[in-house]
Amino acid sequence: MHAPRLLFILPVFLSILLIPYSVSASETFLMPLGPVAEEQKVHFFWAMALTMVAVLPVFILVPVILFKYRRKKGHGFYAPKWETYGPLEVIMWGVPFLVIIVLSVMLWRATARLDPYKEIQGVVPPVKVQVVGLDWKWLFIYPELDIATVGELVVPVHTPVSMILTSDTVMQSFFISALAGQIYVMPGMTTKLNFIGTKTGDTRGENTQYTGNGFVDQNFAVKVVTDEEFEAWVKQVRTGGIVLSPENYNRLAQRNTKKQAYKVLGNSKMPENTLYFNLPGTDLFHEIVMRYHSGKPLSIEEQPGTRKFGRGEDDAEGAQP
């Protein structure tokens, strides 16, 4: 009787135990770098444990019933007129009902605690980052530092990060699993995301909503570094970056991946497939958002993600149709 149980139960528990090792730490909240992802991890395991209250009896009783009532040498009692049993009905329906109630309360409370719009209080002011979704890359603007990057997001450890996000193309899904969770971005609209890194380390962010040919490459490196390393990185961006002029933004906003954009705008002072920019003092993020609030439709030439955007019929080098 014990062997059939093990055959059904062991694979389940082994799969659960191996989840953190099946993907790298840069891709999962199961190895978090901050309190937001840490609470998501705790909630996940509580939800899984409560679900097992209803699931485990199935895994245990199915092989027991198959063994006990097997055709040959079975010892189960056959009762053809037996239809219902009150206590069993209460257990079968009551336990899942209670599990759903508990999970609902936990989810409601966790949703309130992890509100992405809620600013995180720290001992130092937050680092402000403006995020723009493009095809097929993310543009990160640090308005207080007058720099911007593509393919790399760097934040100091133990410092809150306050993001405001939008899209200059189609709807997209911004996701940093090990730090902040997921939030949608849309053209002409803004959303907010707040998080803090409590451990130094590298992780990865991505777009989780399919947007075309270059979707698979729309990811970026996320680095949580010390204050000294962050200051050194800011100097590196300022030294190696190019001016994010309207012309360069038009080239960046073409339908190409960060690797293809690097061939057009990159230089030897920038890491491979990463772009550094210096801002000319304009409020680029505000201009991008207000592009969609003129009260009239945008022409094809004004729409990033189209072949004619910014350059008529000519695409940026390496752009995909």
Query: What DSSP string runs through 43-76?
Result: HHHHHHHHHHHHHHHHHHHHHHHHHHT-TTT--P
What residues contact 297, with CB distance under 8 A and at least 6 apart? Answer: none
- Helix (H) or strand (E) holding 141, with range, is strand 137-142
pLDDT for position 16: 53
CA atoms of 179 and 260, how far apart (whole Å): 28
Q: Do 147 and 276 meet the contact criterion of CB atoms below 8 Å apart? A: yes
pLDDT for position 310: 61
pLDDT for position 76: 76
pLDDT for position 23: 45
Model's pTM, two decimal places?
Answer: 0.80
pLDDT for position 162: 96
From first to last of its 321 residues, the chain has per-residue pLDDT tens of 444 444 455 555 555 555 544 444 446 788 889 888 898 888 889 888 888 888 888 889 899 888 888 878 878 777 777 777 888 888 888 888 998 999 899 888 888 888 999 999 888 999 999 999 999 999 999 999 999 999 999 999 999 999 999 999 999 999 999 998 899 999 999 999 999 999 999 999 999 999 988 999 999 999 999 999 999 999 999 999 999 999 999 999 999 999 999 999 999 999 999 999 999 888 999 999 998 998 888 777 777 877 677 654 344 444 443
Burial track 239-270 (b if 16+ CB lie within 10 A, e otherwise): ebbeebeeebbebbbbbbbbbbbbebbbeeeb
Q: Do 133 and 220 meet the contact criterion of CB atoms below 8 Å apart? A: no
pLDDT for position 1: 44
pLDDT for position 320: 43
CA atoms of 302 and 250, how far apart (whole Å): 10
CA atoms of 51 and 64, how far apart (whole Å): 21
pLDDT for position 304: 82
pLDDT for position 112: 86
What residues contact 226, with CB distance under 8 A and at least 6 apart? Answer: 156, 157, 200
Strands of the sheet with 172-176, listed across from one edge: 152-156, 219-225, 201-207, 172-176, 181-185
**Rounded to a whole number, what is the largest CA-CA distance in the chain?**
85
Q: Do 279 and 148 meet the contact criterion of CB atoms below 8 Å apart? A: yes
